Structure formats: C-alpha cells, structure tokens
Amino acid sequence: MSPLLQAETFPLEYDSNGVLRIEGTRIPLDTIVYAFIDGESAEEICEHFPALDLSSVYSAIAYYLRHRPEVDAYLRRRESEAVAVRMRLEVKSPSAGLRQKLRARLSA
C-alpha cells in the first residue's frame, strides 16, 4: 500500500471515567464538537486550546461528521449524566439562598 493511502486512526481515547478525550490531552470530544456546532473553525478551536494541534481538531471533527448519530447519542448520554451529578450535588449541599446568605454576611 502506498504511504499516501494508509489508513489513519482518530486521535480519541476513553479515560477511566468513560469520557472520550482527544488522545494525550484532557480535552473531551464534547468540547470540540460543541465548538464546531457553534460555528468555530478548527483554527479557532486550536486557539482556545493550546494543548491541541490542528490535525487532531480536524480529525475529531471528521470523526463527528462520519459518526454523527453515535456521537450525538454519546453527547446526550453525557448531558444526562451531568444533570444527574448536579442533582446529587444539590441534594448533598443545597445552594438555595446561598447568594442571599453571603450578601447578608458581607453587609453585617
């Protein structure tokens, strides 16, 4: 096979928590996809995340475009998990009225 036609792998890996990240970084695929959906170019995404190189960002975008239904399902699952975590944290440590309590304390 010609070196120009070698199959390439996408620079993605799951971490120990099941989060799909750009290989060698702590940046989740979610971040790249949401920035892309918001209209940012690969170059702009790289500007925001110096740990990323341009080829990794383009690869992540290409992966999303080729596997959109699977990635969209993954993103929905991550959003549901985030909501569940926020709810558990709120039950453990309610923040209702916290801002008013802090303002009252500062005023006193």
Would you kindly state where each structural domain of the chain is located, as residue ranges? Answer: 3-107
Q: What fold, for 3-107?
A: Arc Repressor Mutant, subunit A (1.10.10)
CA 32 – CA 34 distance, rounded (Å): 6
Q: Could you tell me the two tokens for 53?
A: 């190189």
Given pLDDT bands bounded at 50, 70 and 90, which one contains residue 28?
very high
Q: Which residue has the tokens 């916290």?
A: 98
CA 52 – CA 72 distance, rounded (Å): 22
22 within 8 A of 52, measured Cβ to Cβ: yes
Q: What is the pLDDT of residue 1?
A: 57
Residues 74-82, mean pLDDT to the nearest whole number: 93
